[in-house]
Chain A
Amino acid sequence: MTTITVTETPLLLHTLRLADSALVLAQRLSEWCGHAPMLEEDLALANIALDLLGQARALYGYAAEVEGAGRDEDAIAFLRDAPQFRNLLLVEQPNGDFAQTILRQFLFSAFMHPYWSAGAASRDGTLAAIAAKAEKEAAYHVRHSGEWVIRLGDGTDESHARILAALDELWPYTGEMFEVDAIDRVMIDAGIAPDPLFVRAAWDATVDRTLTEATLARPAAGWMQSGGRRGAHSEHLGHLLAPMQHLQRAYPGARW
């Protein structure tokens, strides 16, 4: 098995954090393909997955360029092991039921939409261009998932119970989106990355408005999970990566 380790400069780590979250969530959503509760939603989830995969590809392409080690996007996506992944813990959580999948999408997209919006002003031209494209996609993701959260919360007894359980399960994973470590600080101060502190107000407003309409109470602020952006992952990530990376590792350089 071929495994690579990339040397993470601040810009590379920052790019990988964004890329890995997009790829891992794309892979999770793809697991619904052919299994969604209805055909329309099967297409909707696959559409969102493809948007995220497109973002991941652009970001990995840039990461490969920044690394300058002659690797391509596939090598970075498929040849790193789980501890080298820098995605949020939130996105690697299992799909659970439809409510859990939708809520995970909503909590993530409600953050990414204002994040990309601010990121379009990045001093890094490539990241700014990726952000400008991703912002439009994220706007739809937050709308679609948010409308579902409202309908599940304000729906039947069963849909309410399920979205409530999802909220309890996933809420502790939301804190990681707002973390700022030393590397983030360097990127923020350089005008390359948006400060999540300023994204927080938009996220709070979207989440509060949606939960209220969904007749759901916002969970109390409490202990938050952390570690994904440093490579300390839940046991779920390895199980996600194994089938995703199998082909490239068993047949290096395989092409369609």
Chain B
Amino acid sequence: MTEAYMPLWEVFIRARAGLAHRHAGSVHAPDAEMALQAARDTYTRRGEGLSIWVVPSVAITASDPADKDALFEPTASKISRHPTFYEVPDEVGNM
């Protein structure tokens, strides 16, 4: 049961038509087909899904947590990007 035979796969589930696939977790499986089955058995036991994607975990490139400040801190000061920054005139009514 080594990593070479049973690599890790990331599982994405779409709960309903029209929604995006969301990351649900990960499974070990020998290949993509078996990963789909393992994902089905592990993450759709309570009717959670209509569609499953599996992706080899090694295929995912992740940002480095050490870069957190450089990547994400600068947005903190750009409050104009939030809709709540803008005052909606009363005449507009409900949007």
Binding site for B on A (CB under 8 A): 37-41, 43-44, 47, 143-144, 147-148, 151, 155-156
A contact residues around B27 at 8 Å (CB)? 40
Contact across chains for B37 and A43 when beta carbons are under 8 A apart: no
The 29 sampled A-B contact pairs (Cβ below 8 Å) are A38-B1, A38-B6, A38-B28, A39-B28, A39-B42, A40-B27, A40-B28, A40-B29, A40-B38, A40-B41, A40-B42, A41-B38, A43-B41, A43-B42, A44-B37, A44-B38, A44-B41, A47-B41, A47-B45, A144-B37, A147-B33, A147-B34, A147-B37, A148-B34, A151-B30, A151-B31, A155-B5, A155-B30, A156-B5
Closest 7 CB pairs of A and B: A40-B38, A44-B41, A43-B41, A40-B27, A47-B41, A144-B37, A43-B42
Nearest-Cβ distance from residue B37 to partner chain A, whole angstroms:
5
In the complex, chain B residues whose CB is within 8 Å of the CB of A143: 37
| CB neighbours of B42 from chain A (8 A) | 39-40, 43
A44 to B27, CA, bound (A): 12
A151 to B29, CA, bound (A): 11
Given contacts A43-B45, A144-B37, 6 further A-B contacts (CB under 8 A): A38-B1, A39-B42, A44-B41, A147-B34, A147-B37, A156-B5
Q: Report the count of interface residues on B (CB-CB < 8 A).
A: 15
Interface centre among A40, A144, A155 (most CB of B within 10 A): A40
A144 vs B29: C-alpha distance in the bound complex, in angstroms?
12
- A37, A41, A148, most chain B CB atoms within 10 A: A41
| Cα(A37)–Cα(B30), bound, Å | 13
Task: Specify the chain B residue showing the minimal Cβ separation from A148.
Answer: B34
**B34: chain A residues within 8 A (beta carbon):** 147-148, 151
Closest-CB distance, A162 to chain B (whole angstroms): 14
Bound together, the chains give a CA A144 to CA B42 distance in angstroms of 14
Instruction: Specify which chain A residues have a CB less than 8 angstroms from the CB of B33 in the assembled complex.
Output: 147
Residues of A within 8 A of B1 (CB): 37-38
- Residues of A near B29 (CB, < 8 A) are 40
A227 to chain B, nearest CB (A): 34
Q: Which residue of A lies closest to B29 (CB)?
A: A40
Rounded to whole angstroms, the CA-CA distance of A210 and B11 in the bound complex is 27
The complex places the Cα of A40 from the Cα of B1 at a distance, in Å, of: 12
> In the assembly, what is the distance between CA of A144 and CA of B33, in Å?
10
B68 CB to closest chain A CB (Å) equals 31
* Chain B residue nearest in CB terms to A44: B41
- Chain B residues, Cβ within 8 Å of A44: 37-38, 41
B59 to chain A, nearest CB (A): 19
